[in-house]
Each structure stands twice: as C-alpha cells, then as structure tokens.
Structure 1
Amino acid sequence: MTRLLPGLAVAAAATVLAFLVHLAVPAVPTLTAAVVLGVVVAQLPAAQRMLDGPLKAGLGLAARRLLRIGIVLLGLKLSLVDIASLGWETVAVIVAIVGITFAATLWFGRVMGLPGTQPILVAAGFSVCGASAVGAMSAVTRSKDDDSATPIALVTLCGTLAIAVLPALRIPLGLSPEDFGVWVGLSVHDVGQVVATAQIAGPAALAAAVVVKLTRVLTLAPMVAIVGMAKRRRDARLAALPEGHPERVVQPAGKRPPLVPLFIVGFVAAVLVRTFVLPLVDASAGASVTNGVLDVADLVQTVLFSLALFALGSSIRFAALARTGWRALVVGLGSWALIAALSLGAVHLLAA
C-alpha cells in the first residue's frame, strides 16, 4: 500500500479537479477532463520524473484494475428490456455498424503501420465504447500501457470534437431530435460524450442516444471473447512451429490468455442483475430501490474511470508519440468519419 498510495492520491486529486471542470463547463464530461489533465501533466519534465518513479505503481493500479471494476459497474446501466424495445432492425443495424467499423479500422491501422496492439485497440475504442473498450481489449491482448494510451487519447479527442461538430450538423441534415439521438448513440464513443452531445437537442434525443449507445456497449463482451479465441489459436499455432523458426513463440506454463477476462464475466452478470434482479427487489420492497442503486453505481463508476483515465493519460509522451502519432491520428479520424457516415446512413434507413 505504501507504494500505491502516492499514485492513487495524485489520481484522486486529478479526479476532483476534473469534476470541478465539469461543474464549471457542463459540456466537458468529467472523464474527458480527467484524461486531458493526465496528458497535460505528463508533458512537464518535473512531473515525468515523478510519474515514472514514486507514482508509477499507484497509477498502474488505477489504469488496469480500477478501470476493469468500472467496466463491471457499466453493466448496471444496461437493461435487456430497453434493448429489446429498440426492435430487431435497430439492434441488427447496431451490430452491423460495430462489426464493419471494427474490421475497417483494424485493417487501416495495420496498413498505416501502427505499432504493437494499437490497431486492435483503436478499432475497439472507436467501434464499441471508447476508453472502456480499449481497457477491456488491452486485457485480453495483454497490451502495454503505452499501446493503450494512444487509442484512449484518440477516442477522447474525437469524442470531444463530436460534442461540437454533431449538434452543428443536425439542422443542415434535417434530423429530428429522435433521429439525432440515434445518430449520436451509434457514432460517439464514451457514454459521457454521448450524453454531452445528445442533451443539446433535448430530452427525446438524449433518451434515444443513451439506449442505442448502451446497446453498442453490450457488444463488448462477444467482441472480447472472439478476440480472445483468435489470440489463443494464434499463440497455439506459433508455439507449434519448429524450433529455430523466427516466428516461434513459447508460451510460459499457465500463462494462456483468458478466453473471456473475469471482469467481462462481471460486466455480463451486472447486465443480468439490472434486467432481472433489481426489478424483483423493487416489486418486493414496494418502492424503487433501483434508482438509488444505479445512482451510487454511476458515481462509483465515474470516479473509477476518472482515476484510470488520468493514469492512462499521464503515460502519453508527445516526444515519443511524434514518431508514430500522426499515423494513429489519421487512423482515428478516418474511423470516426466512417462510423459517423455509416450511422447517418443507418438513421435514414431506419426512418424510411
């Protein structure tokens, strides 16, 4: 604990500051402010020595374990009843857009030569749910913090731009509040960014955006499972190559990557609790217990994500990022444009 406390204390202070920024400027989500603060601090030479020294252990805990606990709590936002109310056509469109965006971004990232696991992390972040998806995918791919930091910075940048760009396009595109909400839910990354973008068009847009967005979040579990299976097969194939082969990889005993990480199982369990258990508790209590539980869970999740995103933002170094950063930026902007265009087409298709 002695090693962890300094880093956690700094992340906690940054979380409080991020919350104050959100209170002062409601259009800026708390999580966006947290990651931006981390990025800014990481560029200060004096701070870099602290971040790479006494603060490293605590920030590492926040960037990995606390982020995963936050992902579990994210499941409490999802009700299968709300998702079913969208209709099979809308659900099918959501799944199709997630799949197309993921595949296209992964391909583009590899073509652009992004290092390490960045292509798959950028693809997950832009197609599913921003930083949460990056964190989940980094666990199953065993990505380094450096590989995770750039995708999170990209989804934060593009999600922040969406708060200004998408509302400005609503009237020229002739979108009703409901259609605008669906567009935002299909194309914007983090839940907080979706709320900040959609609420500008009113409560109808916000309600539509949140349900569509949370349905996108539900695709996180099967996507992580698919990637986990693919990684296992690839590792087994490389381990089976003859000795001396340049691509042969010997896997340490007991170190196979998980098919589905435990926190993803927790995420699915939280969805089931939200759908089936909390309504039964409300019925037996004769009052709404659900709202109180969800309010507490939402607060804890926001705090955990803020701690994690500050920690991940603090691992970004512009000097190192400059070598490959422009390629990652091109991939991120390309993926954002693709999902926005596909989502707009889907809105017109569903409205027809």
Structure 2
Amino acid sequence: MVKPDAGPVTNGTQKTTVHDLAPGLAAALAAVAVSLLLHTVVPALPSMTIAVVLGIAAANVPVTSQWCQGPLRPGLNFAGKHLMRAGIVFLGLKLSLGDIMDLGWISVALIIAVVLLSFAGTFALGKLFKLGGDTPLLIATGFSICGASAIGAMAAVKNTKHEDTVLPVALVTLCGTLAIGVLPLLMHPLGLSTLHFGQWVGAGVHDVGQVVATAQTAGAVALSAAVVVKLTRVVLLAPIVGVAGAIERKRHARALALLESGSPEAAAAPRFPPVVPLFVVGFLLMAALRTTGWMSDGVIEAGALAQDIALGAALFGLGSSVRVRELLNTGLRATVMAMCAWALIAALAFGAVHLMSA
C-alpha cells in the first residue's frame, strides 16, 4: 500500500539534514493551518481528520504525489514519527484526573472494561482476518484507546516501521469519520438521552476530535459527558503501552539468550525497547500537572494548540503515504475487519452506558 521512502537514506556517510527536512515540514505545517481554518469554518469537521484527508489527497494527485515522494518525503516521515510523539505529550494537558474520579468507581470500571474488551476483540478480529505483522495490534490500540495517537505510541514500543502504521491510521480515521455522521442519527431510535448519548460517544468513538465533533451535535451536556468518558479511555494509553513494552522486552531477552547460546534459531542481536517510551512519560507528567490545578487557562489553551499543530502535521505526513489505488487492492480485508471492530466497540459502549444508568 505504501511505496518505499524516496528521501535521503543514511549509507554510512550521507545523513538527513535540516535542509532535507524543511520542505516536508513546511508542507505539513501549511496543511495544519488549512485544517484549523476549515475546522473553524465548519466545526463539525475535526481538524485532525481534515489533516489526514489532505495528506491522502496530496499523495494521490499527480503533481503533489511526485512532491510527496520526492523532496517532501524526509520531512513528512519526520513529522509522522517525531511530531506524533510531541503531540502525545501535549495530549496529557487535556487530562484532569479529578474529572475522571468524579465519574465514580463503577463508571470508571465499566469504561476500563470497554477498553479492555474492545482491545481484545479487535485484536482477535485482526487475527481472524489474517492481517499480518503488527497491524492487528496497532488497529486494536487505536480503536480501543485514542486513535492515531495510540497507534503512534504502540508503534514506538514495537519498533514498527513508519509505513506499517499508515493502514491502521487510515482505518481509524475512516471509522471515526463515519461515526460523526452515523451515531447522531441513532440517538433517538436507540432511546438515548443527551447525557447517555454523550457517554456512548465518549466510550465508543476513537479519536478525541472525532468524539467532540460527534457529541456536540446533541448539545453541551452530551459534549461534556463525552469528553470526560473519552479522556478516561485516554488515561489507559500508558498502562497498555507499558504492558506491551514489557512483553516486547521479554521477547527480545529470549532472542538474546538464543543468540548467546549459539542456537540456529537465533536472529541478529535484538534492540531492547523501553517499557514505557519517554514521550508517554511526558504524557503522564503533563496529565499530572493539569490535575494539580497549577496551570493557567492560557497555558492549557497553548498546550491544546501545540497538540493540534503537532498531531495535525503528523497525520498529514502519515496520510501522504496512502495510495488509494493500492489501498483498495490490498486493504479491503482490513477495511471489513475495521468495520466489524467499529460495530463491536459501539455495542460494548452501548451496553456500558446502560449499566452506568442502571
């Protein structure tokens, strides 16, 4: 689905320089500006979704496609990896643990159960549909926690190649965008109050921006409930990534033991990943700072803008790697799997909302 990078490759003497990165980063930042402007004009369209769509468009229009695969590629790859991590750090400023505790232990336990069941169910669906590599794990992480941000965090722990994150990000964007149009139509047929609709959206929609865009259609009560429930899911990013990191380190330790024993099954010396990446630690620190109440509204708003810029640039970079023709040829099975996972998570969230109100 993704063509090999066309940017500079280190060959022992040649290194990627700031001059190489500048064109792609400038293009990504320009795309963020357009995304934020369009979101301001049409609030129902999340800026992060617009950024992905712009990236996909740039990758599939003949002239801009050549740029994306040529001089822009090094900077776009840098944005997709490193600015994604910066955006995750700033995401922590959205979290106030006090707001989450106000939900009550039963509600928090139900939300955790939805995340864990969503993760396990989506991962099982990925295996059932025979998706290769880390794709089932990345899709499960993105769908169950917080979209592309969670995919980026898990990819860092698994040392997943940049191009292998493109399909999961495209799928989480597709399903989250569909939720914006579909879920509001189901509110009244399902007999949901505005409060319960907001809780359902917060528990079942993937990305924070998509949650806001979906819930705001039902008013302020729904939006407030959706954001609190959603951010409770986001808190689980650190422990789930931490567990994955610990498992990965054990796997690498076994590989190293085989290597040292001279076993014919041994591969090259493994590179041990961190149990919890530094940017996830930064995410937790930001959440802790927000919880203390020491930060002014201006600082929190500046952090939210920094998050939008970093994540928007990263998602444009990832979107610019998507080739629609190849996606249609190779990603159909994954798309069907993602739709099944979307339905599963919506059903789990719906059940949790009814238990919360019981």
Question: Into which bin does the TM-score normalised by the smaller protein fall?
Answer: over 0.9
Is the 1:18–1:33 contact (alpha carbons within 8 Å) kept by the matching residues of 2?
yes
* Secondary structure of the corresponding residue to residue 275 of structure 1: helix
Is the 2:255–2:269 contact (alpha carbons within 8 Å) kept by the matching residues of 1?
no
Distance 1:237 1:317 in 2: 37
Unpaired runs of 5+ residues, structure 2, are 1-17
The RMSD of aligned alpha carbons is: 1.4
* Secondary structure of the corresponding residue to residue 154 of structure 1: helix
Q: Corresponding residue for 1:95? A: 112
Structure 1 window deviating more from structure 2 (320-329 vs 210-219): it is: 320-329
TM-score (norm 2): 0.91
Is the 1:114–1:324 contact (alpha carbons within 8 Å) kept by the matching residues of 2?
no
Is 1:165 paired with 2:171?
no
Report how far residue 114 of structure 1 moved.
Answer: 1.5
Distance 2:191 2:336 in 1: 29
Distance 1:249 1:228 in 2: 20
Is 1:145 paired with 2:162?
yes
Report how far residue 244 of structure 1 moved.
Answer: 5.9
Is 1:345 paired with 2:354?
no
Deviations 1:203-247 (A, max 9, x none): 11111000000010000000000000111112222333364645x
Is the 1:35–1:313 contact (alpha carbons within 8 Å) kept by the matching residues of 2?
yes
Distance 1:199 1:45 in 2: 37
Distance 1:167 1:36 in 2: 22
Report how far residue 111 of structure 1 moved.
Answer: 2.3
What letter corresponds to residue 56 of structure 1 in structure 2? R
Distance 1:122 1:32 in 2: 17
Runs of 4+, deviation exceeding 4 Å: none
Distance 1:77 1:17 in 2: 23
Q: Corresponding residue for 2:76? A: 59
1:1-352 equivalence runs, <5 A = 1-241=18-258, 243=262, 245-246=264-265, 248-252=266-270, 255-276=271-292, 279=293, 281=294, 290-352=296-358
TM-score (norm 1): 0.93
Is the 2:58–2:68 contact (alpha carbons within 8 Å) kept by the matching residues of 1?
no
Distance 1:324 1:231 in 2: 28
* Secondary structure of the corresponding residue to residue 5 of structure 1: helix
Distance 1:324 1:233 in 2: 32
User: How many aligned positions are there?
Assistant: 339
Identity of aligned residues (%): 53
Q: Corresponding residue for 2:4? A: none
